[in-house]
Amino acid sequence: MFLRHAVWYYHAFLYSILRYHVTVRDALNQALDEELERDERVFLLGEEVAQYDGAYKVSRGLWKKYGDKRIIDTPITEMGFAGIAVGAAMAGLRPICEFMTFNFSMQAIDQVINSAAKTYYMSAGLQPVPIVFRGPNGASAGVAAQHSQCFAAWYGHCPGLKVVSPWSAEDAKGLLKSAIRDDNPVVFLENELMYGVPFEMSEEAQSKDFLLPIGKAKIERQGNHVTLVSHSRMVSLCLDAAAVLAKEGIECEVINMRTIRPLDAEAIETSVMKTNHLITVEGGWPQFGVGAEILARIMEGPAFNFLDAPAVRVTGVDIPMPYAKILEDNSIPQIKDIIFSVKKTLNV
């Protein structure tokens, strides 16, 4: 009898601790659920989104709640169903088109760029395309070269698209809701390795109208010595590196970009003008990447004169992703790489 009470109290204690912690997956699920409920025109289509509950369980429970009309399982035909989603958006619906991973979006990229992104401009404002393309992006674990590419730079290159890359559960929820309510094509880059990570969710973030603005970065950690700019999973590594460096008296300012396009250059510039040092950290390849763009903008903008050292990029290694764990681990930035780059930049 005593044991049974003890077990109950233990669970209640755990529950109260975990109550305000939400995984990224659940935050995305909440966002989808809330927006489906709010606007009848919103619907989700993609492979395994309905009866399988989502390949990564992001859409768990939605088909049961909303049915076949709003949650649609598609055949494995990306080009076709992405085009269908874009056409539906043109005709007045608000589709969410899921790519099982963004690697498969390459099959449909013509529809994303030529049919979705450019149409409002080509029609001089006659034809908007309110669509969200979402799914996991970038490296996972052990899935090798064809399933590990980061598309932030590819989509970030194109005018007419908004490209969002959330990190935390709050990011995921607030930004996905904003993306769905946005009247323009939004590419929403999630990260499979982040899906299971729990984050504290503020009271505010639990509201059904919690929105985060697209195009605004967030300062996750204040610091004076160096600015670390990152997006998605790499933000975690930057914070971990910052914690280690703090013990040596180096205070890093960590910026979570949240949005790739439009890029919040102002937030980065303001930070660089304070710290005088800049390092970008990304999982994608270096050439023509997100870091390359940030560095170019810093060169061209007011923050250049405040740099005490060249701005540098920490990126994935310029190779297709290998399979073996030791090789894979050494293909993407590790915490030690960030620490090393900070010390080189600060010349310590």
**Contacts with another protein, residue ranges (CB under 8 A):** 43, 69, 72, 74-75, 77, 79-93, 95, 110-111, 114-115, 119-128, 130, 159-160, 162, 183-184, 262, 300-301
186-190: strand order across its sheet: 71-73, 42-46, 94-98, 132-136, 186-190, 162-164, 259-261
Closest distance of CB 125 from another protein, Å: 4
Judge whether 147 counts as a catalytic residue. yes
Q: For another protein, give the closer residue by CB, 123 or 146.
A: 123
- What does residue 121 show for φ and ψ, rounded to 5 degrees? -70, -45
Q: Tokens 């390795």 sit at which residue?
A: 193
**Which distant-in-sequence residues (6+ apart) come within 8 Å of 50 by Cβ?**
59, 62, 63, 68, 71, 72, 73
Q: For another protein, give the closer residue by CB, 26 or 293.
A: 293
**What DSSP string describes 72-119?**
EE--S-HHHHHHHHHHHHHTT-EEEEE-SSGGGGGGGHHIIIIIIITH
The answer to whether the CB of 218 falls within 8 A of the CB of 165 is no
Q: For another protein, give the closer residue by CB, 40 or 248.
A: 40
Closest distance of CB 121 from another protein, Å: 5
The answer to whether the CB of 281 falls within 8 A of the CB of 229 is yes
Indicate the angle between helix axes 62-70 and 24-38, nearest 10 degrees: 40
Closest distance of CB 29 from another protein, Å: 23
Q: For another protein, give the closer residue by CB, 120 or 133.
A: 120
Q: Which of 48, 147, 157, 251 is catalytic?
A: 147
User: Which of 260, 200, 264 lies closest to 234, judged by CA?
Assistant: 260
Alpha carbons 329 and 149: distance in angstroms, whole number: 15
Q: For another protein, give the closer residue by CB, 113 or 242.
A: 113
Closest distance of CB 75 from another protein, Å: 6
Q: Is the dihedral of CA 8, 13, 14, 18 positive or negative?
A: positive
Closest distance of CB 69 from another protein, Å: 7
Single-letter residue type at 149: Q
Alpha helices in 203-264 (DSSP H): 234-246
Closest distance of CB 309 from another protein, Å: 21
Q: Which of 34, 35, 47, 78 is catalytic?
A: 78
Q: For another protein, give the closer residue by CB, 45 or 228.
A: 45
Q: For another protein, give the closer residue by CB, 13 or 121.
A: 121
Closest distance of CB 338 from another protein, Å: 29
The answer to whether the CB of 96 falls within 8 A of the CB of 43 is yes
- Catalytic residues, which ones? 78, 147
